[in-house]
Chains A and B, each alone.
Chain A
Amino acid sequence: MTDRTTNTTAATHRAASDGAGYWRANVRLIIGCLIVWFIVSFGFGILLRPLLQWWEVGGTDLGFWFAQQGSILVFLALIFFYAWRMNKLDRQYGVDEE
């Protein structure tokens, strides 16, 4: 952080405001991803499973599939989506590693 303090005031100011926007965008993205994370595992897999009873999958219901396999596949998609979006955001806000 010492290299930051040596920046000019104007540059520091811009970096700070950009930084705040970047951080807000990041937190929004994290919250969105965690909502999906919660719904597929704790939701479909456990708490909302009774609602998915009508959808039959291989001798049982969709909730069972989400609990044993579906949630894992969604987790994978989430991590790669987040990595892709964040690496784009980094460049957009000019905070990527050069």
Chain B
Amino acid sequence: MDQYTLNLLIVGATFALYIGIAIWARAGSTAEFYAANRGVHPVTNGMATAADWMSAASFISMAGLIAVLGYNGSSYLMGWTGGYVLLALLLAPYLRKFGKFTVPEFIGDRFYSPTARLVAVICLIVASVTYVIGQMTGVGVAFSRFLEVEVSTGLFIGAAVVFMYAVLGGMKGITYTQVAQYVVLITAYTIPAIFISLQLTGNPVPGLGLFSDYTPTGEPLLARLNEVVTDLGFQQYTNQDPSPGSVINMTLFTLSLMIGTAGLPHVIIRFFTVPRVADARWSAGWALVFIALLYLTAPAVGAMARLNLLDTIYPQGTNEEPIAYENRPDWIRNWEVTGLIQYEDLNEDGLIQYYSDGAAIAEERGWQGNELTVNNDILVLANPEIANLPGWVIALVAAGGLAAALSTAAGLLLAISGAVSHDLIKGRFNPNISEKGELLAARIAMAVSIAVATWLGLNPPGFAAQTVALAFGIAAATIFPALMMGIFMKRINNKGAVWGMVTGLIFTVVYIFLHKGWFFVPGTNQFEDTIAGSLFGIQSTAIGAVGALLNFVVAYFVAKSTEETPEHIKALVESVRVPRGAGVATAGH
């Protein structure tokens, strides 16, 4: 059986599994659909949350970025896990006690202001649409390889599938479907990693293999990797980027991802519906357990993929000649179809010179420039092919990547369409809209978001994980401070919250647009998105932390200089702070 058929078979089988579970679960009762998490054990809920959370950015893109960035890629690892500490300590138990279903509802009630709710909805939509662009990038990569087409064709097919998936309800709220998705996703991620770790280090646990000895030479794997990459003129894998400002950028970027994690509505929402406040605390822990299974493996996948890739190109070592283009392995041929690997024989010797431009060795060896361009987003998907693993493993990874991308993209589209139709149109502009009209508005919002995300996905503002990181920056600068102040600072009133969120949103979005192009249209940026070229010496992915700080400061001073928070709101805050008396979460319609 050829690889193409095998891919179709395994991807098809996993989808049949999700749909089967969805039908089986839906047959129960409709009430269960709305409160899917009630009566579900915190461990099960944690697994479902992990599936919801881990998207194309975590699955497809992150390890590839770590492979290229090395130590500096640690921001993604710490940022996307450390946020759960903030979520568990600062938000989840209190929002559960509050007992409503959506984030804008909490903000609207706590700050006794429909304007605050409207601003929260806008922030939510901006962050979610940006997030979807990142997902579409990942979907395009996965579909292009798996259907063996060009990446833009893959993107169009992916967009159509995401739309149908989201219209079907995305299988959201059905916890057991998400548990199945988690199992597929983590199996697909771990199996190739175990194989590769065994091949390179003899250690079956990839997370430990990363710090073990490299079998062929007996030296530590990371030391070996450092040697190979520096030979080719790349920066040392395990060291901090030596350019000025990189430490502060790494710190702010990590912080942006952390507070963004705690401010993204589709994650928070999972903790609204657990049975009890105590469970909200445990659930965050269990979610992180299942996320950590992937995140502890990811740095090993990144380092080992980088080493494998360089070993493939330089089978005799970096001091000998690289392989000839004619003898390139099948995986390079396969990925060339998608356009995500490109080769240009600059010095016309038929060999693949892959190195960092400007490396000292280039001149003495007669190299005319780097000849191979490998898109970071393909590394995880190509990993099993690079390591010569069996065909079913390759197909399984494709299925895992699609599960990750589709479930998160569909979930976000549902969040966007819900915010537009329910919070924006019904809540603000036309309270008398019919149920049919609301549903139509939701569908239109969904279609428009996909169209926009697909169009921008053709020329994405970055690799999947980087685009998603921008969404986290926006959430960090807007939603998180409002929620935290709502719980911890009674003094913050309606005006403080509104001005804080508006400041955070405008500052962060304008800064991102100045560096990534206005509305992400390529070429319309005023500043280069590098540390040296940026406006404040801070890259756009790291600006969310600054936006969050501005949000806090503005909210504090505006609240201080305006009237006191009303007594009944103070009482509301008091009641949110203690678990006793938590009822069942209610939807605000």
How many Å lie between the Cα of A64 and that of B220 in the bound state?
Answer: 14
Of A27, A45, A57, A69, most B-chain CB atoms within 10 Å? A69
Give every chain A residue within 8 A of B288 (Cβ-Cβ).
Answer: 75-76, 79
How many Å lie between the Cα of A46 and that of B238 in the bound state?
Answer: 12
Residues in chain B within 8 A of chain A (CB atoms): 71, 74, 77-78, 81-82, 84-85, 88-90, 93, 207, 210-212, 219-224, 226, 238, 240, 247, 250-251, 254-255, 276-278, 281-282, 284-285, 288-289, 292, 295-296, 299, 488, 568, 571-572, 574-575, 577-582
How many Å lie between the Cα of A82 and that of B427 in the bound state?
Answer: 37
Give every chain A residue within 8 A of B575 (Cβ-Cβ).
Answer: 1, 4
Closest to B211 in A: A58
Q: Is the CB of A60 within 8 A of B222?
A: yes
Q: How far is the CB of B129 from chain A (nearest CB, A)?
A: 29
From known contacts A1-B568, A58-B220, A87-B278, infer whether A37 and B226 are also in contact, taking CB-CB under 8 Å.
no
Q: Is A11 an interface residue (CB 8 A)?
A: no
**Dominant SS at the A interface?**
helix
Give every chain B residue within 8 A of A86 (Cβ-Cβ).
Answer: 93, 278, 281
Q: Could you show 21 A-B contacts with beta carbons less than 8 Å apart? A: A1-B575, A5-B571, A37-B85, A42-B255, A45-B254, A46-B250, A46-B251, A46-B254, A57-B211, A58-B220, A60-B223, A60-B238, A65-B211, A75-B82, A75-B84, A75-B288, A79-B85, A80-B282, A83-B284, A87-B278, A98-B580
From known contacts A41-B254, A83-B88, infer whether A69 and B296 are also in contact, taking CB-CB under 8 Å.
yes
Q: Is the CB of A90 within 8 A of B579?
A: yes
Closest to B250 in A: A46
Pick the contact of A96: B222, B282, B571, B580 (CB < 8 A): B580
Q: Is the CB of A47 within 8 A of B299?
A: no
Give every chain A residue within 8 A of B207 (Cβ-Cβ).
Answer: 69
From known contacts A68-B77, A76-B292, A95-B579, infer whether A42 and B281 are also in contact, taking CB-CB under 8 Å.
no
Q: Is the CB of A72 within 8 A of B224?
A: no
Closest to B277 in A: A97
How many Å lie between the Cα of A23 and that of B255 in the bound state?
Answer: 26
How many Å lie between the Cα of A90 and that of B278 in the bound state?
Answer: 9
Give every chain B residue within 8 A of A46 (Cβ-Cβ).
Answer: 74, 247, 250-251, 254
How many Å lie between the Cα of A4 and that of B81 in the bound state?
Answer: 37
How many Å lie between the Cα of A59 and that of B209 in the bound state?
Answer: 12
Give every chain A residue within 8 A of B81 (Cβ-Cβ).
Answer: 71-72, 75
Q: Is the CB of B89 within 8 A of A1?
A: no
